[in-house]
Structure 1
Amino acid sequence: MKKTCSWPNGNPLMQAYHDEEWCVPSYDDRYIFELLTLEGAQAGLSWQIVLSKRAGYQEAFQHFDIAYCAELTDADLQTIKEQYHVIKHLAKLESVRTNARAILNIQEEFGSFSDFLWRYVDGTPIINHWENEGEIPAQTALSKQISTDLKKRNFKFVGPVTTYSFMQAIGLVDDHIRMCAFHTANRVRAK
């Protein structure tokens, strides 16, 4: 029997996310913005709840078109809150607009949001080799640094714990347990 991370807990949506997306390096600004939004939406909730609403978020925010999201009005956000299958927390929904605007500023300065983020790890993912999930930290010195830097740039819902989850989500760090078939070392060997 293959050993794998246990956190998907048999849920098909969680398992698909674990197998296909979690800790896989991404360089696409739109996708990175989507994961930043979803991780921020998770604050105080379970990841399973957030994933169950992902399609609603994609529909409401035009598949995370950054320029579109930056132009949303208060009325637009209220409509999204009332009419779409999203988490109904207005400050979290407002953060989509705020964070989109911050990303546009970063794109102007760094070329892409991806380039801005990947410079924290010199373009190379941090590959951890945990034996069990209990060893995985909730935050690190690097997630605290990135969180602080994002907050200085007006990002919202980017505390150090959320930022660490975001780092995992976009593959800046690989926190699959060492024996998991989806750990970077095991994926490389399987090719």
Structure 2
Amino acid sequence: MLVNSQNPIRCEWLSEDPIYIEYHDKEWGKPEFDSIKLFEMLCLEGQQAGLSWITILKKRENYRKLFKGFNPYIISKFTEKDVRRLLSDASIVRHKGKIEAIINNSRCFIKMETQNECFSDFIWGFVNHKPIVNNIYNSKDVKTETTSSIALSKALKMKGFKFVGSTICYAFMQACGLIDDHINNCICKSKLT
């Protein structure tokens, strides 16, 4: 299919915001296998709960700075004093439960590693280590959860993770390319199939 380079077709949920377009074109739906990057995205998707993704996306660099590049080994050492510091920083979403969830989740990530469980292998196991490409005609066809996101959510909760409901897990799976939910005529769909 030929695409007009001046007006390429993209997923309908996208706004005209350049940061959103860049995220859509270069990241969303691209398979990610790096455990730390997957951990970062899971944490950021949890920060989105009740908000729009663009809100978190615009604050992502602030999160990366304040949460030390999402290095679980550094985050796991955060104390109540760090929580108070983060709650006073307007460059991120100031929600105590969400901030504490990132710290908690870093400890869960480390526990998995100490038990010789690779976070990436664990996550990708919910799609049999291969992206699921969905047939999406328009944004109305996109689901908010599936049996695989429900299973991932339950498994993460069993490991002690927080802010990992099935809808958050589905958004995470879409973002990290475990599930390709680009609409069929999107310029990014053709790159993934």
| TM-score category, normalised to shorter length | over 0.9
Unaligned 5+ segments in structure 2 are none
What's 2:43 paired with?
37
Structure 1, residues 145-165: CA drift from partner, whole Å, max 9, x if none?
110111111110001000100
Give runs of aligned pairs for residues 56-67 of structure 1, distance below 5 A: 56-67=62-73
Give the TM-score, by structure 2 length: 0.92
Unaligned 5+ segments in structure 1 are none
Amino acid in structure 2 at the alignment position of 1:49: T
What's 2:191 paired with?
187
Contact 2:152–2:169 (CA under 8 A) maintained in structure 1: yes
Amino acid in structure 2 at the alignment position of 1:8: L
Structure 1, residues 7-44: CA drift from partner, whole Å, max 9, x if none?
12111111111111111111111111111111000000
Report the Cα offset of residue 110 of structure 1. Answer: 4.3
What's 2:20 paired with?
14
RMSD of the TM alignment (CA)?
1.3
Report the Cα offset of residue 109 of structure 1. Answer: 2.9
Give runs of aligned pairs for residues 90-109 of structure 1, distance below 5 A: 90-109=96-115
Pick aligned residue for 2:84 from 57, 74, 78: 78
Report the Cα offset of residue 188 of structure 1. Answer: 5.3
Report the Cα offset of residue 58 of structure 1. Answer: 0.5
CA distance in 2, matches of 1:112, 1:27: 11
Contact 1:126–1:174 (CA under 8 A) maintained in structure 2: yes
Give the TM-score, by structure 1 length: 0.93
Pick aligned residue for 1:51 from 57, 65, 69: 57
What's 2:131 paired with?
125
Identity %: 36
- Determine if the alignment matches structure 1 residue 69 to structure 2 residue 75: yes
Equivalences, count: 187
CA distance in 1, matches of 2:117, 2:167: 26
